[in-house]
């Protein structure tokens, strides 16, 4: 089947976001000046706060993902990748902005209280994107793939990709695929308490590895958020806008992650990957990991 021009345009937009854009770029545009998100320059107290906040947020997101597993599998039969749940997205963005306003007024140090709540809102938004592509969040693999969105879309992170010709998105997804599959098999049929207890005591090594990857990636993005939110000029209004950008950023990543997966079901994985690589080349995207 020949890929339609509409779907090729979608693939090109996906490559533009997943390979080239980043939350840092959006924050810099919002502030009207560049902001350096160098975590090594953060004080130890700040790094500890970020790690604690991310771990708590991801555990809350895992809790939410596992709690939805009450149904059968559902694969996509839709024929258009352009069905965006716009209303749901903006409802979730508005909720995130409200949380950001409170956090912005209190400064970046309120992150440990704000981030877990914000990520719950974001998970709902990302799940809506999966549903828009006709995937069922109650399928264990889809539930964890929604959670895996936190690992994508940050090209400033060094990822250890061996081939410079390989896109970061497809390399990342290949690395996560088996972890997601094995973790999904583990969590299926288990309660939230069983899953979280096993994670804490080391009884789910593959799930632990999966969550560790998400934590490392998300730590980088949250460091950017922390640095921006701690600026004196931010305040409540700025905090609201930053959280709006934060939710919108990950919602867009989810939109393209699941849109690409749905197109693979229509045209085949190799055809979509080749179209993506071609789009990346046309956009002159540097797919080498940045140190």
Question: CB-side exposure of 28: number of CA atoms within 13 Å?
Answer: 10
CA 132 vs. chain centroid, Å, equals 16
**Cβ proximity of 19 and 155 under 8 Å:** yes
Tell whether the torsion through CA atoms of 253, 219, 210 and 56 is positive or negative: negative
- pLDDT surpassing 60 at residue 285: no
- pLDDT surpassing 80 at residue 60: yes
Window from 12-26, 36-50, 118-132, 263-277 with minimum mean pLDDT: 36-50
Decide which of 184 and 40 is more confident. Answer: 184
Mean pLDDT, to the nearest integer, of 137-145?
93
Of 258, 257, 284, 260, the residue nearest 273 (C-alpha): 260
Choose the most confident range, by mean pLDDT, from 7-11, 84-88, 91-95, 129-133: 7-11
Residue-averaged pLDDT of the chain: 77
Instruction: Return the ∠ at Cα 238 (arms to 61 and 214), rounded to 5°.
Output: 25
Looking at residue 220, what is its pLDDT?
82
- pLDDT surpassing 90 at residue 211: yes
Distance CA 273, CA 278 (A): 9
Looking at residue 19, what is its pLDDT?
84
In the chain, where the domains are located: 39-150+176-262
Mean pLDDT, to the nearest integer, of 73-84?
44
Looking at residue 113, what is its pLDDT?
77
Of the chain, the percentage scoring pLDDT greater than 70 comes to: 67
**Cβ proximity of 50 and 223 under 8 Å:** yes
Looking at residue 272, what is its pLDDT?
97
**pLDDT classification of 218: cutoffs 50, 70, 90:** confident
Distance CA 124, CA 189 (A): 22
**pLDDT classification of 230: cutoffs 50, 70, 90:** low
């Amino acid at each position: 089947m020949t890929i339609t021009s509409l779907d090729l345009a979608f693939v090109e937009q996906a490559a533009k976001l997943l390979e080239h854009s980043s939350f840092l770029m959006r924050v810099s545009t919002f502030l009207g000046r560049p902001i350096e998100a160098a975590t090594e320059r953060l004080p130890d107290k700040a790094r500890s706060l970020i790690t604690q906040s991310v771990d708590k947020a991801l555990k809350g997101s895992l809790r939410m993902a596992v709690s939805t597993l009450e149904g059968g599998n559902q694969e996509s039969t839709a024929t258009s990748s352009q069905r965006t749940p716009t209303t749901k997205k903006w409802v979730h963005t508005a909720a995130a902005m409200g949380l950001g306003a409170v956090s912005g007024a209190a400064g970046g140090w309120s992150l440990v209280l704000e981030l877990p709540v914000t990520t719950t809102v974001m998970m709902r938004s990302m799940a809506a994107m999966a549903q828009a592509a006709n995937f069922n969040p109650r399928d264990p693999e889809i539930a964890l793939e929604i959670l895996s969105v936190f690992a994508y879309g940050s090209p400033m992170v060094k990822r250890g990709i061996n081939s410079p010709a390989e896109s970061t998105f497809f390399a990342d997804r290949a690395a996560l695929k088996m972890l997601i599959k094995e973790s999904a098999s583990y969590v299926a049929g288990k309660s939230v308490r069983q899953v979280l207890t096993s994670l804490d005591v080391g009884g789910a090594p593959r799930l632990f590895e999966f969550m560790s990857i998400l934590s490392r990636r998300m730590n980088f993005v949250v460091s950017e958020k922390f640095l921006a939110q701690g600026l004196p000029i931010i305040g409540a209004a700025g905090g609201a806008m930053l959280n709006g950008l934060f939710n919108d950023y990950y919602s867009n990543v989810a939109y393209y992650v699941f849109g690409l997966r749905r197109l693979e079901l229509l045209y085949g994985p190799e055809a979509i990957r080749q179209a993506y690589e071609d789009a990346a080349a046309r956009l002159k995207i540097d797919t080498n990991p940045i140190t």
